[in-house]
């Protein structure tokens, strides 16, 4: 008795189905169905083609205009014109350096490299945007040079020879 006769019929049917699926997959993915030189795309001529301009319904335009006017009226009623400086407060616990307010958030000390880096927040007095910056000794910030970084503060010295400004680490 051969091996093929001992295999149950269900296994034979499953094997045949798997072979057919593999053959179908091969014909769909790999097999080239036509000669490469004989292929032609009848095509879609792209020259001179004009796409239709998008149009917005009049009802949608009216609804958007209504929402815009209602929103602008509520904004005018709730808060009069305020400048950016009035809307955004200065950071607490900072020290003024020229036209910037500086606050030291953290100081990192590397024992292996013998280097200290301070993580500071700077805020411009006029625009009031906040920046997070890493500084090291001899970096310049708003015409102030970082002269020393200690464990609990950063010392800035001005270019004009003014007295040094000590900015302590901000304590929450």
* Residue 82 pLDDT exceeds 60: no
Between 40 and 160, residue with greater pLDDT: 160
- Pick the closest to residue 115 from 139, 138, 136, 133 (CA basis): 136
pTM, 2 dp: 0.49
Instruction: Please say whether the beta carbons of 126 and 170 come within 8 A.
Output: no
Residue 130 φ then ψ, to 5°? -105, 135
Nearest residue to 117 (alpha-carbon basis) of 136, 104, 103: 136
Which has the minimum average pLDDT: 22-31, 42-51, 110-119, 132-141?
Answer: 42-51
- What distance in Å separates the CA atoms of residue 13 and residue 3, rounded to the nearest whole number? 15
Is the model's pLDDT at 28 over the cut of 80? Answer: yes
**Of 160, 153, 122, 116, which is closest to residue 138 (Cα–Cα)?**
116
């Amino acid at each position: 008795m051969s091996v093929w006769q001992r295999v149950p019929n269900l296994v034979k049917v499953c094997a045949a189905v798997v072979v057919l699926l593999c053959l179908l997959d091969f014909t769909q993915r790999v097999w080239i169905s036509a000669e490469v030189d004989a292929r032609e795309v009848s095509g879609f001529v792209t020259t001179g083609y004009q796409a239709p301009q998008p149009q917005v319904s009049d009802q949608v335009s009216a609804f958007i205009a209504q929402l815009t006017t209602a929103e602008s009226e509520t904004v005018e009623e709730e808060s009069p014109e305020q400048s950016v400086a009035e809307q955004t407060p200065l950071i607490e616990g900072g020290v003024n350096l020229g036209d910037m307010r500086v606050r030291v958030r953290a100081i990192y000390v590397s024992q292996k490299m013998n280097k200290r880096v301070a993580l500071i927040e700077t805020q411009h007095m006029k625009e009031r945007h906040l920046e997070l910056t890493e500084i090291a000794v001899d970096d310049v910030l708003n015409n102030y040079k970082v002269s020393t970084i200690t464990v609990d503060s950063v010392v800035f010295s001005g270019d004009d020879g003014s007295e040094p400004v000590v900015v302590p680490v901000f304590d929450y």
